[in-house]
Amino acid sequence: MGQHAVSNALRIRDEIEPGSNAAGYDALARHNEDGSHSLSVLVRGVHCAACIQKIEGTLKRLPEVRAARLNFSTGRLTVEWSGAADSADAYVRAVEALGYEVHPFDAKDEESAVKSEERFLLLCLGVAGFAAGNIMLLSVGVWASTAETMGMATRDFLHWVSALIALPTILFSGRVFFRSALRALSAGHTNMDVPISLALMLAGGMSLFEVLNHGEHVYFDSAVMLIFFLLIGRYLDFRARKNARNAASDLLGSLSGFALVVEGGKIRRMPVRDVKEGMMVRVAAGEKFSVDGVVAEGASMVDTSLVTGETVPREITPGADVYAGTLNLDAPVTLRVEKAAEDSLLAEIIRLMEQAGQGHARYVRLADRAARLYTPVVHLFALGAFLGWWLIGGLVWQDSLMIAITVLIITCPCALGLAVPVVQVLATGRLMKRGVIVKSGDALERLSGIDMALLDKTGTLTLGRPALDGSYEEAHLQLVASLAAHSTHPLSRAMVRSYNGGMLEIADIKEHPGKGLEGRYKGKTIRLGSRAWCGDKKAASSDKMELWLQIGKGKPIAFYFTDYLREDSARTIENLKQAGITPWMVSGDREEVVEKTAQNCGIDEFYAAQTPPQKFEILESLRAQGHTVLMVGDGLNDAPVLAGADVSMAPGSAIDLAQNAADIIFMGDQLAPVFETYNTARRTQMLVKQNFALAIAYNIIAIPMALAGLVTPLVAALAMSGSSLLVIANSFRLRWRG
């Protein structure tokens, strides 16, 4: 399946630019200590096990290659070889020859930091799991008997073994919480990890004291179980966030390609980041412009939809401005570079996104807000218990301290820690089945609180691809589709999609760059292309995209295209309005088109011809007014707003960058998932609040018991797991309803 698509893509590319274009990769090869080299590249088009095997197998058979490993999840291929750095290009060519796209990318230090953090979490989790299992094994024996039936010596022995396992585990795996708590405290506030850390340390310390004194209040099992459960939640949360982090490195990738620089009549490939202002850059048809510049030579059409959101390809002639990130459709052109890659519009979008992403981090999750209230209360209770029993109750200070510590252990937020993640995992799983992918854990929480929705036009409210508009003669459709099948132009593709019958055999097909296609059928010359080339120049102009067909010397026939609305756009907007959310439309497209679309789907307020920074300003001003904003968009021009909005969604057809910037991705040709996800988010949030209520109710019962000194290790273990089960059971109600 994947293989077919790949070979097709390869064929198309070869027509555009014959031969391989792998060059300059030797500059990216890393030099290892033992004289060998390694190279990391991004491979696109890997779909299945056969792809992995083909790529790795081919490389491993080359003489100098020591290792080749393809990471399926990230698409990153690492090759290590014993020879000189020059071989890099040959390896890239070998992979390209198999039919895969290869892109350079910069390995960042940040990435390895994320990787080592994941390893650290997993290691802590593994150790805690080992400890929890073994200590439970011993504790069950202690609970099942009394000091009389078991004998003091045996019980002390079991306690000592538990201590031997638990204390190193608390010190090792507890670091996850200790570090976070220290960070929070040194920044002058508290989080959930502060009471957790305190409880862990006190439980460990007190239990050790009890073991030394042959006591029975040993809480090693509770402490280690707590670490284990909380770490599971941490790890799941971390994995969800890691996807979002990948966005940053992909952004850099889009700036780190190669450009063909013309110097003294020769064409040289150089990394985009080395291209300077004033250089001449050649861009082949079908390639992306990698820098901002002015056309110096050649004429073509550009697809600017990714950057400006405009659906109709723009014509460029010498003197016209071109932006990085747009796609050259028809003919090769030469640009004079106006701004180097790091100053280009694309780079500005990326900077806006980074800035916006930092704003995103300002959001305080419900769980953390709860922790801010919870922590002082619990600590006051513990202090009160200590002072109360010691000064008023007349106990010795050791016994008072033990009661205070029991209060801390039993109120340790096990249920509180599960209250949010369990519901979110269930909700995310449910949405996944309906084709909605939720990337960050707290996205649903943020979605449930929105009061404004900003929607992009092209690709969001509309399908984002032109489709044939109007009715035409069957014979003409067949002829046009047969000819259009030989071109990759968006309108040609739309033509092919709209015709389902058999194709005709057309001879002598030629593509005239910037004009159209020409071929011969039944002795007549057929032309398909622009109005200026083969159309009726006198025909009334229309605001729709058009393609003209001329058979022989006959009268030209026009075909019109529009970008259709998604069939349920209007209904979804209506639903949002009824739920009290104000929808606005922001688009880079022309005023007339935007206005018409807004009317068709019932949006009262819209902004047309917005540049990416302008879109971002709209968002900023809305947020400054205190609105909570959902952004739905699919293009590069939406990316900063997607990253900066309180919560953001992108359709599955969106470009990678937008998908990475968005919190939620929905599949399919419908817009309804936006509203469905909002509904699910509301219900999720309701269950989360119920869970918090349950956790608080548990504490209302548990704290007095602890204050009264009635809690034993068995009671603590039962109460903790009991409340956790109750919270989990409540979360499962999400499945039963609706």
CA 135/CA 131 separation, integer angstroms: 6
Q: Quick one: how far is CA 3 from the chain centroid? A: 26
Of 524, 521, 469, 506, which is closest to residue 491 (Cα–Cα)? 469
CA 332/CA 322 separation, integer angstroms: 13
Binding span for other proteins by CB under 8 A among 9-17, 66-74, 337-345, 670-678: 66-74
Answer for the pair 713, 720: CB distance below 8 angstroms, yes or no. no
Choice between 138 and 581, CB closer to other proteins: 138
Answer for the pair 307, 637: CB distance below 8 angstroms, yes or no. yes
Close Cβ partners of 153 (under 8 Å, ≥ 6 residues apart) = none
- The yes-or-no answer on residue 563 being catalytic is no
**Closest separation between CB of residue 144 and other proteins, Å?**
14
Of the residues 115, 269, 276, 520, which one makes contact with other proteins according to CB under 8 A: 115
Binding span for other proteins by CB under 8 A among 117-125, 240-248, 283-291, 338-346: 117-125
Of 47, 41, 64, which is closest to residue 7 (Cα–Cα)? 47
**Closest separation between CB of residue 56 and other proteins, Å?**
8
Choice between 125 and 450, CB closer to other proteins: 125
Choice between 107 and 715, CB closer to other proteins: 107
Of the residues 31, 32, 72, 369, which one makes contact with other proteins according to CB under 8 A: 72
DSSP code for 102: E
12-51 footprint of other proteins as x/- string (CB under 8 A): ------------------------------------xxx-
Binding span for other proteins by CB under 8 A among 158-166, 360-368, 691-699, 709-717: 158-166
CA 350/CA 657 separation, integer angstroms: 10
Q: Tell me the backbone φ, ψ of residue 288, rounded to 5 degrees.
A: -85, 140
Go through 209-218 and write b for each residue having 16 or more CB atoms within 10 A of its CB, e for each that does not. bbbeeeeebb
Q: Which tokens hold the place of 395?
A: 């106990």
- The reply on whether position 168 binds other proteins by CB under 8 A is no
In this structure, is the dihedral angle defined by the CA atoms of residues 204, 209, 212 and 213, taken in order, positive or negative? negative
- The reply on whether position 243 binds other proteins by CB under 8 A is no
Residue ranges with strand state E in 65-156: 65-71, 76-81, 101-104
Binding span for other proteins by CB under 8 A among 134-142, 181-189, 249-257, 611-619: 134-142
**Closest separation between CB of residue 218 and other proteins, Å?**
16
Close Cβ partners of 231 (under 8 Å, ≥ 6 residues apart) = 121, 124, 125, 128, 173, 176
Binding span for other proteins by CB under 8 A among 99-107, 125-133, 263-271, 326-334: 125-133
Of 577, 606, 565, which is closest to residue 678 (Cα–Cα)? 577
| Cα 382 to Cα 378, 393, 405, 412, distances in angstroms | 6, 15, 7, 12
DSSP code for 26: G
- The reply on whether position 127 binds other proteins by CB under 8 A is yes
Answer for the pair 76, 56: CB distance below 8 angstroms, yes or no. no
- Which residue shows structure tokens 């009264």? 708
- The reply on whether position 123 binds other proteins by CB under 8 A is yes
Binding span for other proteins by CB under 8 A among 133-141, 185-193, 501-509, 650-658: 133-141
**Closest separation between CB of residue 39 and other proteins, Å?**
18
DSSP string, 469-537: ES---HHHHHHHHHHHTT---HHHHHHHHT--SPPPP-EEEEEETTTEEEEEETTEEEEEE-HHHHS-T
- The reply on whether position 122 binds other proteins by CB under 8 A is yes
- Which residue shows structure tokens 């030989």? 486
Choice between 68 and 454, CB closer to other proteins: 68
- The reply on whether position 151 binds other proteins by CB under 8 A is yes
- The reply on whether position 78 binds other proteins by CB under 8 A is no
- The reply on whether position 119 binds other proteins by CB under 8 A is yes
- Binding-site size for other proteins (CB under 8 A) equals 33
Of 230, 234, 213, 214, which is closest to residue 222 (Cα–Cα)? 230
| Cα 594 to Cα 272, 457, 473, distances in angstroms | 35, 7, 31
- The reply on whether position 205 binds other proteins by CB under 8 A is no
Choice between 23 and 52, CB closer to other proteins: 52
Close Cβ partners of 513 (under 8 Å, ≥ 6 residues apart) = 285, 300, 330, 331, 332
**Closest separation between CB of residue 120 and other proteins, Å?**
10
- The reply on whether position 157 binds other proteins by CB under 8 A is yes
- The reply on whether position 161 binds other proteins by CB under 8 A is yes
Q: Which amino acid is at 205?
A: G
Of the residues 52, 366, 425, 715, which one makes contact with other proteins according to CB under 8 A: 52
- Which residue shows structure tokens 């929607």? 455
- The reply on whether position 61 binds other proteins by CB under 8 A is yes
- The reply on whether position 140 binds other proteins by CB under 8 A is no
Binding span for other proteins by CB under 8 A among 151-159, 197-205, 270-278, 512-520: 151-159
Choice between 131 and 517, CB closer to other proteins: 131
- The reply on whether position 225 binds other proteins by CB under 8 A is no
**Closest separation between CB of residue 75 and other proteins, Å?**
10
Classify 454 as helix, strand or coil: strand
Of 133, 231, 225, which is closest to residue 175 (Cα–Cα)? 231
Choice between 151 and 554, CB closer to other proteins: 151
Of the residues 57, 393, 704, 722, which one makes contact with other proteins according to CB under 8 A: 57
679-708 footprint of other proteins as x/- string (CB under 8 A): ------------------------------
- The reply on whether position 74 binds other proteins by CB under 8 A is yes
- The reply on whether position 65 binds other proteins by CB under 8 A is no
Q: Which tokens hold the place of 480?
A: 């046009």
> Which of 193, 221, 303, 456 does the annotation list as catalytic?
456
Of the residues 165, 316, 370, 418, which one makes contact with other proteins according to CB under 8 A: 165
Of the residues 37, 54, 217, 446, which one makes contact with other proteins according to CB under 8 A: 54
In the complex, the residues that contact other proteins under the rule CB under 8 A are 48-50, 52-54, 57, 60-61, 70-74, 115, 118-119, 122-123, 126-127, 130, 133-134, 137-138, 150-151, 154, 157-158, 161, 165
The residues carrying an active-site annotation are 456
